[in-house]
Amino acid sequence: MNLAVLLNVVLFALVVAWLARRAMHGAKLSTNVLIAVLLGVVLGGAAQAMYGLGSPIIRETMNWVGLVGGGYVRLLQMVIAPLVLVSILAAVTKLNNARALGAISAGVLGLLLVTTAISASIGIGMTRLFGLRADGLVQGARELERGTYLEGRVTEAASLTNIPALLQSFVPTNIFADLAGTRSTSIIGVVIFAALLGLAVLSIRRDKPELGDRILQGIDTFQQLILRLVRIVIRLTPYGVLALMVRVVATSNVDDVISLGTFVVASYVGMGIILLVHSGILTLAGLSPARFYQKIWPVLTFAFSSRSSAAAIPLSVETQVGRLGVSPAIANFAASFGATIGQNACAGLYPAMLAVMIAPSAGIDPGSFSFMASVVMVATLGSFGIAGVGGGATFAALVVLSTLNLPVALAGLLISVEPLIDMGRTAVNVSGSMTAGTVTSKLLGQTDFAVFNATDAVPAAVPDAAQPEQATRPAVSAV
């Protein structure tokens, strides 16, 4: 490590220490995360301006910074499976009867898939409105490397396009393998296992009430343990976000980002329209979109900065229950399903935009009805099993492009702006899952309107670093 790299690492460590000091003195997590985003942009931009894009000093510095950013992402991935398992298990065991499970699942899944289909249609419209095409984009070294990587994952993506095989893959054969995330549909396998295990607990409670009560106490204890672990990981978000932003800005070619600016604008316009669709669905259900977004704003902020809809699961559940009056069972199902099925922006909007952009390169008319219908259908069905962490949108695009026989390597052309767009996509995904949960709860008559209409509720979703105990208590009663 030369002197320049050492100084860069020391400066980064000092910024991390300053953020930690703010947290210790009562700064809100959401505020610290946003500050970390801005500082990451400043530090990354300064590094590139000082040393130049592709400098060996930047590469070595990013290796050390990556310990924080990469470690944070790995921790998020670590907690997803146990969190989904305990959330669904606890939700099912609190149902009055097993038949309610079918109605909840149908309502949540139906809304997620419908909004994903609408999002894909919006993606098609945005691409054509802005006149986006892939054949005019420049392929640099990073883009070519990314394209080669994507071509290597085509076989994995193609396995999700065989519908009977896809549905069969949802059924877990080895729950421990699914907890380890060995398959693209592992999270769905965990959901199914947890639901069946919950039904078994309900059966035991009916036949042997005392034993059933002891099992419930064990589940509650395990749930509190996992939620506390999630809280610990979530408090690391400012440092992880800082490292990720520094890396993105320091290693991004500004000219490439500017050249892809139209795609970025089109993406965010499309995401804005999707949020309007969510508002329309809420209005049709007799709910106030303004009040809904006012209450879920802290969760969307966290999702935007962390770029992980899976990490937002506990915050989503707490906000739905504690601020929107959603039934705990429905909130858990909506948050868990929404992190792996029917992601409106990652699995709907983004793959559809790429497909329409790339189609002319393959001699396909992107304006034909048959092609557009195929894009919407494939994007909707292919949304099953898309992981709610960084990289999920890329895999969703692989599923759509490979199914439509389009060159997947061209998807690598957008690597320069991927992180910038992914922040917005994650927030829209979480909005979609929370919309599905809120509307389903309303339609099934399980919404507590005293909570939904309250204007003085304290947002349970974003814990203050200075008040860890207060931050964790709502999760116990909410889930």
The DSSP annotation for 354-408 comes to HHHHHGGGGT--TTSHHHHHHHHHHHHHTTTT--SSTTHHHHHHHHHHHHTT--G
CA distance 316 to 300: 9
CB within 8 Å of 160: residues ≥ 6 apart: 166, 184, 185, 382, 384, 385, 399
Give the span between the Cα atoms of 290 and 450, in whole angstroms: 16
One digit per residue, the tens of pLDDT, for the chain of length 479 reads: 788 999 999 999 999 999 999 999 988 887 888 899 899 989 999 998 899 888 899 999 999 998 998 898 888 878 888 888 888 888 888 776 667 788 888 999 999 999 999 999 999 999 999 988 876 554 544 444 444 444 445 455 555 555 677 677 778 889 998 888 777 677 778 888 998 999 899 899 889 999 999 999 999 999 889 888 988 888 898 999 899 889 888 887 777 677 678 889 999 999 999 999 999 999 999 999 999 999 999 889 888 877 788 778 888 988 999 999 998 889 988 988 888 788 899 889 999 998 998 888 888 888 899 999 999 998 888 777 665 455 567 777 777 887 788 877 666 667 667 778 888 999 999 999 999 999 999 999 999 999 999 875 444 444 433 333 333 333 333 33
> pTM for this one?
0.79
9 contacts 61 by C-beta, under 8 angstroms: yes
CA–CA distance, 208 with 202 (Å, rounded to integer): 10
Distance of CA 184 to the CA centre of its chain: 15
- What's phi and psi for 28, nearest 5 deg? -70, 145
| Three-state DSSP class for residue 28 | strand
176 touches 69 (CB < 8 A): no
Residue 50 backbone class (left: φ over 0; alpha: ψ -120 to 50; beta: rest) = alpha
Token duo for residue 134: 């892939």
CATH code of domain 3-478: 1.10.3860.10
